């Protein structure tokens, strides 16, 4: 489904009543709903369903049942990839929620079908870490399973745009239970996953490569991550609580207060963040504030830039521009123009 055509059919846009976001996050119900953040409404993801009740010759219930009642969403932010999703709804970029026990650690799975593009995508810091399973690429640098550490600056994607990709986006602090390795070792890095965690790197990649069905791949990835989670050590509660608090406040919170709430010193908190998140709490707070500004700039007019800067903890326009250049390599005005 192309963003421009989302919800264009009167029958599709009126057949399903709008639902609230919390209900969407609890999962798809009997109608197998798909949410598009482009149109902001519920819709049936495959137009052929409205005509024949089938997708690729299979009943709707059979095809979508493989997806275990999970929601799909499109994403407008600058990211690694754009493309189609195979047996999933046809969108430029799709995300799927993981199994419920994984959700405190995994923000989403994201999926795309490769296609040639004129230039590599610019990837911006978001505080997350990713595992990439790349299929069908002819470029050696992009083949197999890769780990992308916490980013502190913009880079151009080194993954071949023609490759099919299944990605796992871990929330800040969420990757450690699965790799059991200090995350500061991977900050701003792209490494082969097998060198860090052989099971997730070699065994899981082999299992995912045995099928072309995205839904089956997701199910197998769920099982592998759940197995690793049950065997791994979790980060200290103080780290996870501090990260979630920073996320909730979009980075606008005192680091001293975070340490006080966790009952530890600021020095201890910084050491824990380096090990379990990959960056210091102050740097994560800056990245989360930058991420918030990205989202606001996609919906706000350019003449409101000063107001947005003050509302999000920037002292003035120069401060905002400096931070934006540090993380994106461009000014906020340029980013708004590209959006």
289 within 8 A of 313, measured Cβ to Cβ: yes
Q: How far apart are CA 135 and CA 137, in angstroms?
A: 6
Q: How far apart are CA 66 and CA 215, in angstroms?
A: 6
Taking Cα atoms as reference points, which of 183, 140, 186, 178 lies closest to residue 159?
A: 140
Which pTM does this prediction carry? 0.73
Going by the DSSP 8-state scheme, the letter that residue 186 receives in this structure is G
Return the residue matching tokens 């540090």. Answer: 326
pLDDT at position 303, please?
A: 64
Q: How many residues does the chain have?
A: 339
Domains identified in the chain and CATH numbers: 3-231 (no CATH), 237-338 (1.10.10.60)
pLDDT at position 142, please?
A: 56
pLDDT at position 28, please?
A: 32
Q: How far apart are CA 282 and CA 43, in angstroms?
A: 40
Q: Which residues of the chain have pLDDT under 50?
A: 1-91, 140-141
pLDDT at position 334, please?
A: 85
Residue 33 token pair: 């709903």
94 within 8 A of 85, measured Cβ to Cβ: yes
pLDDT at position 161, please?
A: 78
pLDDT at position 274, please?
A: 97
Residues 6+ apart with CB under 8 A from 17: 42
Q: How far apart are CA 285 and CA 289, in angstroms?
A: 6
């Amino acid at each position: 489904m192309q963003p421009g055509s989302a919800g264009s059919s009167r029958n599709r846009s009126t057949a399903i009543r709008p639902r609230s976001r919390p209900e969407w996050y609890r999962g798809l119900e009997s109608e197998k709903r798909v949410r598009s953040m482009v149109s902001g409404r519920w819709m049936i993801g495959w137009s052929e369903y409205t005509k024949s009740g089938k997708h690729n010759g299979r009943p709707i219930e059979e095809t979508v049942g493989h997806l275990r009642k999970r929601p799909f969403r499109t994403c407008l932010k600058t990211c690694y990839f754009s493309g189609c999703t195979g047996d999933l709804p046809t969108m430029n970029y799709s995300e799927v929620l993981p199994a419920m026990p994984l959700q405190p650690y995994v923000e989403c799975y994201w999926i795309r079908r490769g296609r040639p593009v004129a230039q590599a995508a610019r990837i911006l810091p978001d505080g997350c870490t990713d595992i990439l399973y790349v299929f069908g690429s002819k470029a050696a640098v992009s083949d197999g399973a890769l780990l992308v550490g916490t980013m502190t600056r913009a880079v151009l994607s080194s993954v071949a745009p023609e490759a099919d990709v299944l990605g796992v986006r871990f929330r800040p602090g969420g990757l450690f239970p699965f790799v059991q390795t200090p995350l500061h070792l991977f900050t701003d890095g792209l490494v082969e996953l097998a060198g860090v965690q052989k099971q997730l790197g070699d065994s899981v990649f082999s299992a995912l490569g045995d099928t072309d069905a995205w839904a089956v791949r997701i199910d197998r990835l769920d099982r592998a991550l759940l197995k690793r989670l049950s065997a791994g050590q979790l980060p200290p509660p103080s780290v996870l609580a501090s990260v979630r608090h920073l996320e909730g406040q979009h980075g606008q919170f005192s680091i001293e207060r975070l340490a006080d709430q966790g009952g530890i010193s600021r020095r201890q908190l910084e050491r824990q963040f380096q090990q379990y998140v990959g960056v210091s709490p102050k740097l994560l707070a800056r990245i989360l504030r930058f991420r918030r500004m990205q989202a606001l700039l996609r919906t706000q007019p350019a003449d409101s830039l000063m107001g947005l800067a003050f509302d999000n903890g920037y002292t003035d326009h120069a401060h905002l521009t400096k931070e934006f250049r540090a993380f994106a390599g461009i000014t906020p005005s340029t980013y708004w123009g590209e959006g």
